[in-house]
């Protein structure tokens, strides 16, 4: 068995934490797991991408068209990583653009969101979610990464058990935030069932 999930977004959105939760949940289920992350300069509002690979794997990064799914916290970042996902795979992305500051200076262009979704749909299956809104409803924008994990669970794209995910989330977030994170997880799941 070999499963690869790419988690992508912008520095500060909790991308690495989400990938980490996924990796530790996989170990809890008894799988081998490797993942990659980048630190340093990239954290200052730059794009962030983590690959989580589970099963008979060695490489911490994915090859083109090998990932089973992309979980993206931002539309443009879904597009940036699109070539990594298999054509029979799936992209789950949040719908709220974060415009790179350089675009405001007239350097580069942020494409129309519909154009982004069009391109993704031509490559593979696309599922959209307004995770920002759900996270706020759950109690804090900081739970966005857990909303995304909840949605991914409902879509059945994560090769780990829901129980392990929930236990790992509980073991990761500060105790006083467990409740709103559990709420965020359930609301993410619920949104996908609609």
Residues in the site for other proteins, rule: CB under 8 A? 10-11, 20, 23-24, 27, 32-47, 56-66, 76-77, 79-84, 99-105, 107-111, 119, 141
Pick 45 or 190: Cβ nearer other proteins: 45
Q: Output the smallest distance, CB 112 to other proteins, in A.
A: 13
Pick 23 or 155: Cβ nearer other proteins: 23
Strand partners, 132: none
Q: Output the smallest distance, CB 169 to other proteins, in A.
A: 15
Strand partners, 55: 2
Pick 77 or 191: Cβ nearer other proteins: 77
Q: Where do we find the tokens 């929930």?
A: 166
Q: Output the smallest distance, CB 191 to other proteins, in A.
A: 22
Pick 56 or 88: Cβ nearer other proteins: 56
Q: What SS3 state is found at 112?
A: coil
Pick 35 or 155: Cβ nearer other proteins: 35
Q: Output the smallest distance, CB 101 to other proteins, in A.
A: 4
Pick 101 or 194: Cβ nearer other proteins: 101
Q: Output the smallest distance, CB 156 to other proteins, in A.
A: 23
In 3D space, the residue among 56, 51, 63, 59 whose CA is nearest the CA of residue 23 turns out to be: 51
Which helix (DSSP H) or strand (DSSP E) does residue 147 occupy? Answer: helix 144-154
Q: Output the smallest distance, CB 187 to other proteins, in A.
A: 20
In 3D space, the residue among 138, 168, 139 whose CA is nearest the CA of residue 153 turns out to be: 168
Using the CB atoms, write b or e for 49-68: b if 16+ within 10 Å: bbbbbbeebeeeebeeebbb
Sort strands 2-10 and 47-55 into parallel, antiparallel or unpaired. Answer: antiparallel
Q: What SS3 state is found at 49?
A: strand
**Phi/psi at 159 (5° precision):** -80, 25
Strand partners, 9: 48
């Amino acid at each position: 068995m070999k499963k690869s999930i790419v988690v992508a977004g912008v520095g500060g959105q909790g991308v690495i934490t989400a990938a980490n939760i996924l990796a530790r949940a996989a170990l809890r289920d008894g799988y081998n797991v490797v993942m990659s992350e980048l630190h340093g300069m990239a954290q200052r509002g730059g794009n962030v991408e983590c690959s989580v690979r589970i099963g008979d794997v060695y490489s911490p990064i994915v090859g083109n068209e090998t990932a089973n799914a992309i979980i993206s916290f931002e539309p443009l970042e879904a597009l940036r990583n699109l070539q990594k996902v298999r054509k029979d795979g799936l992209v789950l992305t949040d719908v709220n653009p974060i415009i790179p500051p350089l675009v405001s200076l007239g350097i580069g262009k942020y494409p129309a969101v519909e154009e982004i979704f069009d391109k993704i749909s031509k490559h593979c299956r696309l599922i959209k979610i307004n995770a920002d809104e759900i996270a706020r409803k759950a109690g804090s924008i900081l739970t966005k990464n857990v909303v995304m994990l909840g949605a991914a669970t409902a879509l059945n794209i994560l090769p780990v058990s829901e129980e392990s995910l929930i236990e790992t989330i509980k073991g990761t977030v500060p105790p006083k935030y467990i409740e709103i994170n559990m709420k965020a997880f359930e609301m993410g799941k619920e949104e996908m069932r609609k």
